[in-house]
Amino acid sequence: MIRHLFTLIWNRKRSNFLLMAEILLSFFVLFVVSVLLVNNYYNYRQPMGFRSDNVWEFNINAGQDTVARRAKLRLLVQELQATPGVVAITGTSSNTPFSFSTMNTDEYRYQGKPVGGYTDRYDADDDMVKVLGLNVVDGRWFDRRDDAAGRRFPVIINQAFAERMFGNEAAVGKVLTNEKKDEEWHVVGVVEAYRSGSDFAANEPAIFHRKVLQDTSRFVQQQVPELLVRVQPGSGAVLEQQLVRKIKSVTKGWSANVNTLEENRRDKMKFLVTPLAALGLVGLFLIINVALGLFGVLWYNISQRKAEIGLRRALGATGNGISGQFLGEMLVVTTLGVLGGLVLAVQFPLLGVFGVASQIYVQAMVLATVLIFVLTAICALQPSRIAAGIQPAVSLREE
């Protein structure tokens, strides 16, 4: 029977080729959608590396006031820290968690070799570890000892950076340079991860530079950092107003914008999910289209082949035998189409085009294969049941 199926498919290669091409293309669409899905899911499952609950972000606007900004800022941080309900405060660059701002560079070298790709850079002070609950897995976070670092600036990297740059070697103690070798950085610690972009951000190399408010050499005079404040769980509007009022009174006229990191997280999520959902919708639409096409082709096939089906029934095929034959033909054609699609799909990991890990491509291939078989099975089921219901007498009438 299997031989017979292949003979039939081969003898009808022209119409089956179209069907196969359609399956190949829809497999490819499914594969691309699957890569996106699997990749985002994979990222989503990675550790964030920090805690965003009970952290408020103060976006301070000094406006026209340029008088003694540094001193005012230092005083402000002291005042805020002293407020009951505040656990810790950190000043950081504008690329706070879930913000729309990023800072990246490819300047780091170790023995002349770069990390490969860009590294996200963050400015941090000694208290960031407390505010964001970063997970230090090796070495230590920044502290007062780093005040005496001199020209060799301390940095902290994430594990992704460490693995790419140093492989299995210990990262702590290593010295990085820039390409011209006129700057040096000393790795003092490693954090597990810092996926600050969003829940879907990839776990890419990241580095923290120490910038403390006291450090006038490193902080540009006019710069006002973002303040991240960890508050006691359950703190609400009362504390928020208290802090805003304090900012106004201490600085005499600066204003502040407050968001919780959780709010920012949701906003970022919405921002990312919207195009993803739109893309998913387009994908779904395409797939429905493909399904309808397949369904139509199969339906047409069966109405075209009524005489043949009737004849087979007249020669002794059972109804189940007929539907089995149709499903079998569909299975073979689908398999051939999928094989063609896989040949195309496998080029992605082989050529390494989008920098997505091979295992994600493999998973996407598996997912797309399963989906396409389910899809064709659904499309073939009803037509093949109709085929099974065709009576032998039909063979007498159709030509």
Among 43, 119, 323, 395, binds other proteins (CB under 8 A): 395
Q: Is 11 in the site for other proteins (CB under 8 A)?
A: yes
Q: Map residues 316-355 to x or -, x wherever contact with other proteins holds by CB under 8 A.
A: xxxx-x----------------------------------
Q: Extract the tokens encoding 156.
A: 């902290």
Q: Which stretch binds other proteins (CB under 8 A): 1-9, 104-112, 122-130, 211-219?
A: 1-9
Give dist(CA 183, CA 176) in Å, integer: 8
Q: Is 280 in the site for other proteins (CB under 8 A)?
A: no
What single letter denotes the amino acid at residue 398? E
Of the two residues 103 and 331, which places its CB atom closer to other proteins in the complex?
331
Of the two residues 325 and 363, which places its CB atom closer to other proteins in the complex?
325
Residue in 193, 238, 255, 216 with CA at minimum distance from that of residue 47? 193
In DSSP notation, 241-310 reads HHHHHHHHHHHTS-EEEEEEHHHHHHHHHHHHHHHHHHHHHHHHHHHHHHHHHHHHHHHHHHHHTHHHHH
Q: Which stretch binds other proteins (CB under 8 A): 2-10, 176-184, 198-206, 229-237?
A: 2-10
Q: Are 225 and 16 in contact (CB under 8 A)?
A: no
Of the two residues 9 and 229, which places its CB atom closer to other proteins in the complex?
9
**From the CB of 10, what's the least distance to other proteins, in Å?**
9
**From the CB of 397, what's the least distance to other proteins, in Å?**
10
Q: Extract the tokens encoding 45.
A: 């499952």
**From the CB of 367, what's the least distance to other proteins, in Å?**
35
Give dist(CA 325, CA 331) in Å, integer: 10
Of the two residues 114 and 392, which places its CB atom closer to other proteins in the complex?
392
Of the two residues 3 and 181, which places its CB atom closer to other proteins in the complex?
3
**From the CB of 390, what's the least distance to other proteins, in Å?**
12
Of the two residues 304 and 359, which places its CB atom closer to other proteins in the complex?
304
Among 68, 170, 374, 393, binds other proteins (CB under 8 A): 393
**From the CB of 343, what's the least distance to other proteins, in Å?**
27
For residue 315, the tally of other CB atoms under 10 A from its CB is 9
Give dist(CA 328, CA 307) in Å, integer: 19
Q: What are the CA-CA distances from residue 59 to residues 63, 167, 227, 247 (Å)?
A: 12, 38, 7, 11
Q: Is 3 in the site for other proteins (CB under 8 A)?
A: yes
Among 12, 70, 130, 306, binds other proteins (CB under 8 A): 12
Q: Which stretch binds other proteins (CB under 8 A): 82-90, 192-200, 366-374, 386-394?
A: 386-394
Q: Which stretch binds other proteins (CB under 8 A): 19-27, 130-138, 199-207, 391-399?
A: 391-399
Of the two residues 275 and 316, which places its CB atom closer to other proteins in the complex?
316
Of the two residues 268 and 312, which places its CB atom closer to other proteins in the complex?
312
Q: What are the CA-CA distances from residue 231 to residues 101, 210, 228, 246 (Å)?
A: 24, 23, 10, 15
Of the two residues 139 and 319, which places its CB atom closer to other proteins in the complex?
319
Residues sharing a CB contact under 8 Å with residue 302, sequence separation 6 or more, in sequence order: 309, 326, 383, 384, 386, 387
**From the CB of 368, what's the least distance to other proteins, in Å?**
31
Q: How many residues bind other proteins (CB under 8 A)?
A: 25
Q: Map residues 303-322 to x or -, x wherever contact with other proteins holds by CB under 8 A.
A: ----xx--xxxxxxxxx-x-
For residue 38, the tally of other CB atoms under 10 A from its CB is 22
**From the CB of 27, what's the least distance to other proteins, in Å?**
26
What single letter denotes the amino acid at residue 186? H
Alpha-helical runs (H) found in the chain: 2-11, 13-45, 69-82, 128-132, 159-166, 237-251, 261-304, 306-314, 319-345, 347-351, 358-389, 394-397
**From the CB of 379, what's the least distance to other proteins, in Å?**
22
For residue 153, the tally of other CB atoms under 10 A from its CB is 17
State how beta strands 152-158 and 119-124 pair: unpaired
**From the CB of 34, what's the least distance to other proteins, in Å?**
35
Please give the residue ranges that form the binding site for other proteins (CB under 8 A).
1, 3-4, 7-8, 11-12, 307-308, 311-319, 321, 391-393, 395-396, 399
